[in-house]
Amino acid sequence: MKNFIIPLLFLGAFFITINCNCNKDEDCIKDYKFQIPFNLTPQIDTFKIGDTIWVSSDFSNEIKELNYSEPITLKDFDFRSELTIEKISVDPFQNANLEFDIIEKQGNLNLIPLIGTSTFLVEYDYVDDTYKVDFGFVPQGKGLYTLVLSSLITEDSESLSTRPDCKEEIKSIEYLLNGGENNNYEFISQSADSLIRTTTKDIYDEYGQYSFYVIE
C-alpha cells in the first residue's frame, strides 16, 4: 500500500507544479519609464538676487508610464529624485546649490555633499494617495543658471512587483517641467561651457531643466 501511495504523491505534485500560475512568465518583461510632473514659477527668464523661485509637484499615485501607456499604482514610493542647480555662465560649469537659500514649504530637500559637487535628494509628502512637494529657491549671486531634475533610478534600475506574472523594472524616470514648454532652452547656447552647449532639447526636456539669469 505504501508503495502505491508514494507514486500518487509525486504525480499530484507534478500536476500542481505545471498548473501553478505563481511563477513569473519568463517572456513577460516590463521595462518602465515613468513621467513625473513638476512646475517652476514664476516662469520668466530673469530673476533678481533675493527673488524666490518656486518648484513644486502634485501628482496622484497613478504614475504615468511612457513605454506601455498604462498607469502604474505606486503607494508611498521612493522615486529617488534629485534636484541640482548648476552655474553655466562659467567654464567649466559649477555646482551652485549653495548659492541659493532654500524654503521647504512642503516635502524635504536633503543636501548631499559629493566630491567637488552636491545634490539635493527630494522627499515627497505622501498624503491621500498624492505626492506633493513645494520648495522655494532664493538666489544670492548673479549669473546664468540651469536647474536639473533627475533620479538615481536612472543610474541603477529598480525592480517592482505590481504584477505577479511579469518581471518588472523601472529603467528611467522623466521629469516633465511646466508641461515641457517655455523652459528657456535657448539659454543653453549662451553657456560659457562648451559641454553644456551640446545638451540637446530632448535631454533638456527629459531632465526637467529650466535655465535663467540672476541679476543684481
Specify whether the CB–CB gap between 140 and 85 falls below 8 A.
no
pTM for the complete prediction?
0.83
Could you tell me the residue ranges of all domains in the chain?
Answer: 25-215
Q: Residue 167 has what pLDDT? A: 82
- The residue-averaged pLDDT of 40-50 equals 98
Q: Which residues pair with 213 in a beta bridge?
A: 46, 144
Cell (9 digits) for 84: 541640482
Over residues 115-159, the pLDDT tens digits come to 889 999 999 999 999 999 999 999 999 999 999 999 988 655 566
Answer for the pair 182, 43: CB distance below 8 angstroms, yes or no.
yes
Strands (E), 42-166: 46-48, 53-60, 62-65, 72-73, 81-87, 94-95, 100-106, 108-114, 117-123, 125-127, 130-139, 143-151, 158-160
Q: How confident is the model at residue 17 (pLDDT cuts 50, 70, 90)?
A: very low
Taking Cα atoms as reference points, which of 57, 70, 214, 72 lies closest to residue 144? 214
Q: What is the pLDDT of residues 183-196, one digit of tens each?
A: 999 999 999 999 99
Residues 57-105 have pLDDT tens digits of 999 999 999 999 889 999 999 999 999 999 999 999 999 999 999 999 9
Q: Are 76 and 165 in contact (CB under 8 A)?
A: no
Residue 113: how many CB atoms within 10 A of its CB?
11
Residue of 163, 130, 150 lying closest to 63 (CA atoms) = 130
With a cut of 90, say whether residue 161 has pLDDT above it: no
CA distances from 177 to 9, 57, 130, 206 (A): 60, 9, 18, 9
What number is the average pLDDT over the span 106-110? 98
